[in-house]
Amino acid sequence: MNPTAQQLTEWDKRYVWHAFTQMACYEPLIIESAEGCELIDIEGRRLLDGVSSMWCNVHGHCHPAIDAAIKDQLGKVAHVTNLGCSNSTAIRLAKRLSELTPGDLDHSFFCSDGASALEVAIKLAFQYWHQCEKPQPKKTTYIGFEDAYHGDTIGTISVGGVDQFNAVFKPLMFPVHRLLIPDRRVPDEASACTYHLQVLEETLQQHHETIAAVVIEPLVLGAAGMIVQPHGYLRGVRELTQKYNVLMIADEVAVGLGRTGKMFACDHEEVVPDILCLGKGLSGGYLPMSAAIATTEIWNAYLGEYGEAKQLCHGHTFGGNPLGSAAALATLDLFEEEQTLAQLPAKMARISEHLTRLKEHSHVGDVRQCGMIAAVEIVRDKATGEHFAWTDRHGHQVCQFALQHGVWIRPLGDVLVIMPPLSVSLPQIDQLCAVIAAGIEHVTHTKGHSR
């Protein structure tokens, strides 16, 4: 006998430990099925998936092509280890990624999630400097950015910079050189790029002999509040890392696979990092699948005789899983078959139109957009940029309002994220943005803050 909705709700609160959630305050939202850009909960309520099920769904839920690819693979083999073994589907995916990624990013180390891919990249960079053609074993630290998020492993929280998430784990973390967020608004839009690159170069000048890599989210810092970097900054980072002989790790887990309007965020400024990390949308948001993709120079440093022990001693049980690989191949096929990227400019323009209107609200301090990634920042005082008390949870209240009006979104504090699947329609964009606008008005008005 199937459990009732009430039983599922009670069990969810009692037995399931949810990520980044205070379970004493948790109110369940239980999804039973999905279709296209809509989620369907256990009560049959349909909700527009306004954040791509945590920034990962690309072509919509239950897409027949991806479903068919997984079912076809399931009829062959569900899992094969990649420790001393391989499978044809993962091999085809690795070749496809080699052809798709810029430059000579030809060598994919498959993992299960974005954090795992970044953890691999951190270790790859560290070990590379011990066994490259001209070893520099003093290169043992990294450059990261304030409020950057790269995952929740010890390595990724060390190079990340979200104090709210990491403070309790500080004794476990290794030290890094942490720079200011490269925000396009600081000190102002005209000088932001030059300013932030100068800060980076000063750090590299002083410490390049001990720095293994710069770890960066290209174009947009996600968990920091969808902070958009100044134009030209990413290209400048690549030039400086090359100038000072430091590796560049590009974390495209959230911003890759079409989110910025191009297949990869690095494509916007013609940058080829030393290691490119993908996840989330790699499998269309279907299955755990990620990759750390390295250049041939990195790859060559790991080749040698068995006795030299140059191999990377790192692995994941489900790395290169055939089901995830099948979903990824189908996802990449759909980009071509449905001309996904060609359809994005109209959708990006529609989001921009709504952001222009939202920016006029007296409690919207800033709106930000990079392709299909957008954010609306709620403030107490528009003139000063003063925020509401974080304990008031205005962003959460707007999301609760949205839930009551057929839209599911999740905030970053008082920053409302707009990141629907790339397959979203123009009417659905209108619905998403209209509900957010109404939610902001409702929450700020009911709290005694008028327009």
Query: What is the average per-residue pLDDT within 176-204?
Result: 97
Q: How, if at all, do strands 373-378 and 364-370 pair? A: antiparallel
Tens of pLDDT along 115-146?
999 999 999 999 999 999 999 999 999 999 99
Binding-site residues: 114-115, 149, 251, 280, 315-317, 410
Q: What is the pLDDT confidence band of residue 165, given thresholds at 50, 70 and 90?
A: confident
pLDDT for residue 300: 98
Tell me phi and psi for residue 153, to 5 degrees. Answer: -75, 170
| Beta bridge mates, 377 | 366, 415
Report whether pLDDT(451) > 50.
no
What tokens does 17 get?
């430990």
Task: Tell me the C-alpha distance between 376 and 434, whole Å.
Answer: 13
Conformational region of residue 103, where left means phi above 0, alpha means psi within -120 to 50, and beta covers everything else: left
Tens of pLDDT along 327-347?
999 999 999 999 999 999 999
Of 428 and 446, the structure prediction assigns the larger pLDDT to: 428
pLDDT for residue 448: 53
With contact defined as beta carbons under 8 Å apart, do 283 and 90 qualify?
no
pLDDT for residue 164: 85
Tens of pLDDT along 281-323?
999 999 999 999 999 999 999 999 999 999 999 999 999 999 9
Task: Tell me the C-alpha distance between 255 and 394, whole Å.
Answer: 26
Report whether pLDDT(233) > 70.
yes
Tens of pLDDT along 70-94?
999 999 999 999 999 999 999 999 9
Binding-site residues for pyridoxal 5'-phosphate: 114-115, 251, 316-317
Kind and range of the H or E run holding 43 = none
pLDDT for residue 445: 83
Task: Please list, in sequence order, all residues whose beta carbon lies within 8 angstroms of the beta carbon of residue 393, skipping any fewer than 6 positions away.
Answer: none
pTM passes above 0.85: yes
With contact defined as beta carbons under 8 Å apart, do 264 and 273 qualify?
no
Count other Cβ atoms within 10 Å, centred on residue 19.
6
Report whether pLDDT(450) > 50.
no
298 burial (CB, 10 Å; 0-12 / 13-18 / 19+) is buried
Query: What is the average per-residue pLDDT within 97-123?
Result: 98
Cross-sheet strand order for the sheet of 211-216: 105-111, 290-295, 275-278, 247-251, 211-216, 141-145, 177-179
Query: What is the average per-residue pLDDT within 176-190?
Result: 96
Tell me, rounded to whole angstroms, the distance of Cα 400 from its chain centroid: 23
Report whether pLDDT(446) > 80.
no
Q: What is the pLDDT confidence band of residue 449, given thresholds at 50, 70 and 90?
A: low
> In order of start, what are the domains of the chain with their CATH numbers?
5-59+339-446 (3.90.1150.10), 67-337 (3.40.640.10)
Q: What is the pLDDT confidence band of residue 348, given thresholds at 50, 70 and 90?
A: very high
With contact defined as beta carbons under 8 Å apart, do 312 and 127 qualify?
yes
pLDDT for residue 296: 98
pLDDT for residue 188: 95
SS3 state of residue 205: helix
Binding-site residues for substrate: 149, 280, 315, 410
